[in-house]
Amino acid sequence: MNSLIQKIQPDEVYNLAAQSHVAVSFKNPLYSTLTSTSGVVSLLEIIKNIDKNIKFYQASSSEMFGGINTSILNENSLFEPKSPYAAGKLFAYNLTKIYRDSYDKFCVNGVLFNHESPLRGETFVTRKITRALGRIYHKIQSNLSLGNLDASRDWGFAGDYVRGMWMMLQHDRADDWVLATGETYTVRDFLTEAFNLVGLDWEDYVIIDKKYERPNEVKHLLGDSNKAKEELGWVPEVSFKDLVKMMVENDIDLAEKEKILIDKNLLKPTWEHKV
């Protein structure tokens, strides 16, 4: 990384690297915490020592708050991580502040609440739902297994949040900002919205499986991004309903292409509970 940054001489570095699946962080805590901690130490040391004013963005996470109650969360809220992933992210958050204060470096933390899109990994619950729905709609999958349907999240569109990341590094001073929509919905709400778009009842297809529940559940996350609105001029542009619609339409189209390949015996279904 040192050789790469010395060669490129970037103006900005965005550290998005992590093993970002919370459930996986319980199964492989060492790997998960190392990706969030050792990487940021390396990058900050390089930026500190290089003869160039490089702006640094650290991708922090709403998981650091722990969701211990239903409070709306902002930059002054207490952190109480409930997973190895969240603990690693909190280390990186604190280290970023330490380098900013100790070495007068332009280092910022973006504390981002859940941000989704059609590019979201298929093991994350939102994309797992929309991918399964597309396959159910085209009759190449019969049902979907999920864990806790009562978990509540502040879900926004990833494109809005990436714009916010960039805006943080264009600000005249380094600081930390929360990015969130200010609305929270349960997994059940997401299911209802998604399945309603194609005229189906999710209860006819969803199976509750305790193996998908976390050992230490984060029950409720709701963010307050007023500081980002006032200081950066950032506001989310894509609503929850539009986000779900975007993801459902994408995955219905994707499943249609899969069905064509399956019908031609060019693709064998490998997902769970296939017909």
What residues are annotated to the active site? 61, 63, 85
Give how far the C-alpha of residue 233 lies from the chain's centroid of Cα atoms, to the nearest Å.
Answer: 22
Separation of alpha carbons 88 and 91, rounded Å? 5
DSSP, collapsed to helix, strand or coil, labels residue 176 as strand
Assess contact for 141 and 130: CB atoms under 8 A: no
In sequence order, the 6+-apart residues with CB closer than 8 A to the CB of 148 are 187, 212, 213, 214, 217
C-alpha to C-alpha distance for 256 and 212, rounded to whole angstroms: 27
Q: What does the block give as tokens for 210?
A: 């305790």
Please give the Cα distance from 74 to 247 (Å, whole number). Answer: 28
